[in-house]
Structure 1
Amino acid sequence: MKKLAYWTALLGCLFSFPQVAHAYPLTIKHEQGETVIKEQPKRIAVFDLASLDTLQALDVQATAVPKAIWPQYLSQYEDEKFTKVGSLFKPDFEALKKVQPDLIIVAGRSKAAYGDLSKIAPTIDVTINPTHFLDGVEHNITLFGKIFDRADQAQQLISQLDQSVSSLQALGKQQGSGLVLFTMKGNLMVHAPGERFGMLYELTGLNSVAQAAEAPASKSRPKPGSPEAKAMQEQRQQRLDQAIANKPNWLIVLDRDEATGGEGEAEKTISEKLGNTEAYQAGHVYYLNPTEWYIVTGGYQSIMNTVNDLTKQFQK
């Protein structure tokens, strides 16, 4: 009877195994609806560099990618063996059709093309909401682990991320307050929680000295030199002055010019405009890797690089 029970249990495990793994077809819920993936994708077109970053951490390789400015650790995708299918904003539909992808991944810059892309192949939108940044990052890691049969590996990445971020946040709370700044052509723009790069407060554990800005009446950018543009510049300066008056302990800076292939001026801009602040005088200025944070926002490796580096800075 014991042997019978043993073999019954063993057979039960064997037959239940496909249910433990993620059986296809998979129905994936995402930002723009639901997508059915009939089988594990082999030819993958990825228009989001954060997704490429995370897929690489999971040992999953894309087939087709956009033309882009690549961080060093993703530079393999410059190679011609990876088909180029447009830009981060504008897909090349004809090139994409020749690839015949099994799955297309979009987010952020490429999400507007979702409707047209979904006519070519199953498409998912993995855009991360900056107000729930870490949850979004972990959701995407889990999702890719599910799609590409890397569930255990995905869980390991999440555990490493949780541990590293928790350590950084604890140090950040000890450091006190911070101010996230975006530099562009000599200008400084404040980012508060809830804004585009406001997730850096969540990531670092620093308390924001800036309040969220009021939503503009119009989403269109005013013409340079116009009264509206001048008014916007004055509001930005007032907001910066108010934040600096709250004496942030740290300045976290992202250089947009360098991120897009231009000449970086962040250090010069901070020195000239904020050189007399206590944070600057104390050496508490951290310059984010421009490409990793502006182009690859939300990638697992990008985040871990910053978390590990900032942890060392906060420990000094």
Structure 2
Amino acid sequence: MRSVRFRKSIVVTSTVLCAGMALSACGESGKASASGKSQGNVTVATAKGDLEVPRKPARVAALDNTSFATLKAFGVKPVAVPKALLPQQGFEDWKNDASIKDVGTHREPKFEALNASEPDLIIGGYRFTDHHDKLSKIATTVDVAPSDEAKGGYVNALTAQTEALGKIFGEEDKAKEIVAALEKSRQSAVDATKGESVFLAVSSAGKIDNGASRIGRLIEPLKLKNVLGAEGEDSTSVHDNSGLAPETVAKLNPDWMIMMDRDAAVGGEGTESVAAKKLVDGMEAWDRTTFRTKDQIVYLQSDFYVTEGAQAYTEAFDKVATAFNAAG
């Protein structure tokens, strides 16, 4: 699998230029504040190597969406987040809290707003990987985000991420609980799968395409055969249109479909997979496929596209285990 790469818009505005100047002027003060407000330091393994970071930092900017649910479980209230990447449910308090700065998105980050939040620590990585150097000029930036290239793959990297965050925030016991739940659900899904064939699908912009490059991570530990791999796809982006014809899927006739509904996650029509289900049910080419006739379709949780963390994969594995066990 390839590392996560996202398309970026090149936008030059006075705000961005101003932010660039602010980085060099204020970056060192951001780092200095960390030693004054945290409770000592702790060393963690990151994508950039071992890094000494503030322990129990008082002011945290959380940019990596895969970490949001874990931080909330730890009781962390961030000083800054990319509010457009927050799930539609469960994070209303962060979204509506004016004291939590909105730092834009990875495509158009608001560096000035981030700097103004005066973080002791920035949790970067994943969608914000390309901005690591600029972020590090504002405050100590840690990248413990999961990666397809990590030892053992993406799902194992979720365990490492959770443990690292637990170490940083002094929440090792809670981290162990999250990891244990993930491992239990993964094993349940492993036990429930017996070599069935599956089409990994993504619903985006009202179309269904091959989602193997993005959710192939889910079935890596499972006993499933993917009928369409990610070969030839440039990245894990779901914005590309491969031109996949529904007839191609029908000819492959997979036993199962696992669907990620991007439209539901970013505000498309419907909730709880309704938009994707409507598309699937209306695909006449699939009328005689095994997955349609036996109703063997697993719809991942509607916010999966903007979560993708340990809790999201725990729920996804549970969904797979429940569906496959029910089918016998």
TM-score by length of 2: 0.75
Letter in 2 for 1:315: N
Letter in 1 for 2:139: A
Structure 2 residue aligned with 1:260: 266
- Per-residue deviation at 1:37? 1.4
Structure 1 residue aligned with 2:58: 42
- Matched pairs, number: 275
* Aligned mates of 1:315, 1:107 — CA distance in 2: 36
- Per-residue deviation at 1:126? 2.6
Structure 1 residue aligned with 2:316: 306
Letter in 2 for 1:108: Y
Letter in 2 for 1:111: T
Structure 2, gaps ≥5 residues long: 1-38
Structure 2 residue aligned with 1:61: 77
> Are 1:283 and 2:295 counterparts?
yes
Question: Which aligned pairs between 1:1-316 and structure 2 lie closer than 5 A?
Answer: 24-68=40-84, 69-89=86-106, 90-130=108-148, 132-173=153-194, 176-192=196-212, 195-202=213-220, 205-215=223-233, 232-233=242-243, 236-237=244-245, 241-264=247-270, 265-273=275-283, 274-291=286-303, 293-297=304-308, 299-316=309-326
TM-score by length of 1: 0.77
- Per-residue deviation at 1:256? 1.9
- Per-residue deviation at 1:260? 1.5
Structure 1, gaps ≥5 residues long: 1-22, 223-228
CA contact (8 A) 1:169 1:205 kept: yes
Richer in helix (by share)? 1
- Per-residue deviation at 1:161? 1.5
Report percent identity of matched pairs: 28
Q: Deviations over 1:81-115 (max 9, x none)?
A: 54123223133222222221111011222222211
* Aligned mates of 2:41, 2:71 — CA distance in 1: 20
Against the structure 1 CA distance between its residues 161 and 216, is the aligned structure 2 distance closer, same or farther, given a 3 Å change threshold?
Answer: closer
CA contact (8 A) 1:133 1:199 kept: yes
* Aligned mates of 1:95, 1:302 — CA distance in 2: 29
* Aligned mates of 2:287, 2:99 — CA distance in 1: 45
* Aligned mates of 1:105, 1:216 — CA distance in 2: 26
Against the structure 1 CA distance between its residues 203 and 244, is the aligned structure 2 distance closer, same or farther, given a 3 Å change threshold?
Answer: farther
* Aligned mates of 1:268, 1:38 — CA distance in 2: 48
* Aligned mates of 1:139, 1:123 — CA distance in 2: 17
Letter in 2 for 1:75: E
- Per-residue deviation at 1:157? 1.9
* Aligned mates of 2:126, 2:140 — CA distance in 1: 18
Q: Whose Rg is larger?
A: 1
Cα RMSD between the aligned structures?
2.7
Q: Deviations over 1:115-140 (max 9, x none)?
A: 11110100012332236111110010
Q: Secondary structure, in 3 states, of the residue corresponding to 2:313?
A: helix
CA contact (8 A) 1:84 1:95 kept: yes
Q: Secondary structure, in 3 states, of the residue corresponding to 1:173?
A: coil
